[in-house]
Amino acid sequence: MKEGAPVLQAVNVGKAFGQNQVLENIDFEIMPAEIHSLIGENGAGKSTLLKILFGVYKPCSGSVLMDGKEVHLNSPMQAREHGIAMINQEPQAFADMTVFENIVIGNMNKTKMGFFDRKDLEEKAARVLDRLGLNLRLDQKMIGLSVAEQQLVEIGAALMSDAKILFMDEPTASLTPDEVEKLFKIINKLQAKGKSIVYVSHRLDEVKLLSDRITVLKDGNKVGTYDNTDISKEEMIIKMIGCSLNEFVKKERSSRIGNPFLEVDNISIPGIFRNVSFNLHRGEILGVFGLMGSGRTEVARALFGITPIVSGEIRMEKKKISITSPFEAIKNKIALVPEDRQELGVLLEQGIAFNTSFAVPKQIMSRIGWIDRSREEKLTADFVGKLKTKYTHLNQLVGDLSGGNQQKISLAKWLAANPEVLILDEPTRGIDVGAKTEVYKIINRLAAEGKSIIMISSEIEEVIGLSDRIMVMYEGTCTAILEHDEISEKNVLSAAHDHVVESEV
């Protein structure tokens, strides 16, 4: 443990939303220059605890102390005034504002004359972007950026502040391995400068690599706080989910060479991706891997008709199809679970039942054309139950769920539509290890039932473990399609950096 008195403490903190007790008698402390990780399944209370310490929520019981003195943080602005900054699991960007404005907002110190020194702010913002290796213009609007780029901009805004305590809630969920490595170097530098960091992540390898201490939450209760050297990754999993997770669900790769179900032939969107070709068989899981900017998400959006292709051809069962809108994609039994769940995957201000069923209105209509609530509830309960979603009631607002449970609702919606081709863009982003295995089982079960699946993931172990074949992209082109003995971490990463792939045999 780091020496000195805690810089921030939660003492017997409790929080309930209505009848739902989210946190109960939580004691949590952060020491000077400490990296303290907070782990637990989705719904364990991690984000709620951070939001209490950041002034978003008021605790129902207990108190918050800074440097041994009780404080009342009634808003994030007050938390910032006390030297606390937070990087959220979902980017909290101002979409219509520029990169510069998003970085400096909340970090603008006036001169003695009462003005802002824009030149000084621009220089500082540019240095932050350079530290993050982010090749963006300061005058670029946020609305066109990827989730990963938005996340890095938000990290940049936190770095601009003079915070002494930094909360990081799943900061690497949408980052590439290179970006994660850069972020870790920055975190270590911040620690060396005396900053304290609370790190929340489902990626336990990251937790082991970074942490001084680790606190485990389960169902709103504190299981314990441990020195990193005193707890193994396997022990963390057991304390989080109550049992051992022997291994991730792995699919035995198929040796099928049958006729393809979906054929994608030289599709292009100028300036985004070009001449991308691949086949997808029935019952196949085609993994797609690539670094940020490789075009992998853009290909998925094109297949779903969000950004229609300009040239090339798409065929389903040898028949040419035109997909110029999501409506046409759905009509052809193609579904997309998007990477950005809050913007594109779910309707946060609507309930769980509405979110799960609105894409399949015919399944829940009565004979006279009205919504049959009993059908809606049965359909919703079936699919959210299969995903082991944590919720209080079926009309609970999706915005009140944890990030991982929001992801499950996004997936449940399209499972209810019974698609023939299911495109999954980062399907386990922000989901804990216990829930991941459930998602993996569902993906494998769907493939076994004959569904064709395209799975995009930035987690190389996930892609290798689940995929029958792997398509690798680099700067808008397909650099390799790997199968059987060609599939290895070395070959996937080589192709992702546009290097020649050599067979392992």
pLDDT at res. 1: 52
Q: Is residue 204 situated within a structural domain? A: yes
Pull the structure tokens for residue 161.
Answer: 């502040």
- Maximum Cα–Cα distance for the chain, whole Å? 74
Average pLDDT of span 28-36: 96
Q: d(Cα 205, Cα 425) in Å, to the nearest integer?
A: 22
Checking if the pLDDT of 165 tops 50, the result is: yes
**Number of domains present in the structure of the chain:** 3
Give the pLDDT band of residue 253 (cuts 50, 70, 90).
low
Average pLDDT of span 268-284: 94
pLDDT at res. 345: 72
Kindly state whether residues 328 and 355 are assigned to the same domain: no
pLDDT at res. 251: 53
Q: d(Cα 434, Cα 115) in Å, to the nearest integer?
A: 52
pLDDT at res. 267: 96
Q: Is residue 348 situated within a structural domain? A: yes
Region of poorest pLDDT, from 91-95, 380-384, 457-461: 91-95
Q: Is residue 257 situated within a structural domain? A: no
Pull the structure tokens for residue 299.
Answer: 């290909």
Kindly state whether residues 367 and 462 are assigned to the same domain: no
Kindly state whether residues 411 and 423 are assigned to the same domain: no
Domain endpoint, select from 365, 393, 416: 416
pLDDT at res. 249: 47
Q: How far, CA to CA in Å, does 158 sit from each of 349, 429, 490?
A: 28, 22, 34
pLDDT at res. 425: 92
pLDDT higher at 133 or 351: 351
Checking if the pLDDT of 302 tops 60, the result is: yes
Read off the amino acid at residue 356: T
Average pLDDT of span 335-354: 82
pLDDT at res. 502: 53
Kindly state whether residues 73 and 112 are assigned to the same domain: yes
Q: How far, CA to CA in Å, does 392 sit from each of 20, 43, 241, 397?
A: 7, 11, 20, 10
Kindly state whether residues 412 and 464 are assigned to the same domain: no
Q: Is residue 2 situated within a structural domain? A: no
pLDDT at res. 109: 58
Average pLDDT of span 161-167: 86
Kindly state whether residues 111 and 191 are assigned to the same domain: yes
Please list, in sequence order, all residues whose beta carbon lies within 8 angstroms of the beta carbon of residue 380, skipping any fewer than 6 positions away.
Answer: 352, 353, 356, 357, 394, 412
Kindly state whether residues 316 and 431 are assigned to the same domain: yes
Checking if the pLDDT of 406 tops 50, the result is: yes
Average pLDDT of span 218-240: 90
pLDDT at res. 254: 56
Give the pLDDT band of residue 504 (cuts 50, 70, 90).
very low
Checking if the pLDDT of 66 tops 80, the result is: yes
User: The whole model's pTM is what?
Assistant: 0.60
Kindly state whether residues 115 and 163 are assigned to the same domain: yes
Kindly state whether residues 288 and 376 are assigned to the same domain: no
pLDDT at res. 505: 38
Kindly state whether residues 210 and 348 are assigned to the same domain: no
Look up the CATH number of the domain holding residue 295. 3.40.50.300
Q: Is residue 3 situated within a structural domain? A: no
Give the pLDDT band of residue 500 (cuts 50, 70, 90).
low
Average pLDDT of span 306-316: 94
Q: Is residue 247 situated within a structural domain? A: no
- Write the pLDDT tens digit of every residue in 453-464: 999 998 888 899
Domain endpoint, select from 241, 270, 303: 241
Region of poorest pLDDT, from 66-75, 443-452, 473-482: 443-452
Q: What are phi and psi of 122, to 5 degrees?
A: -65, -40
Q: What is the domain extent for residue 33?
A: 8-241
pLDDT higher at 189 or 435: 189
Kindly state whether residues 152 and 287 are assigned to the same domain: no
Kindly state whether residues 117 and 72 are assigned to the same domain: yes
Average pLDDT of span 227-249: 74
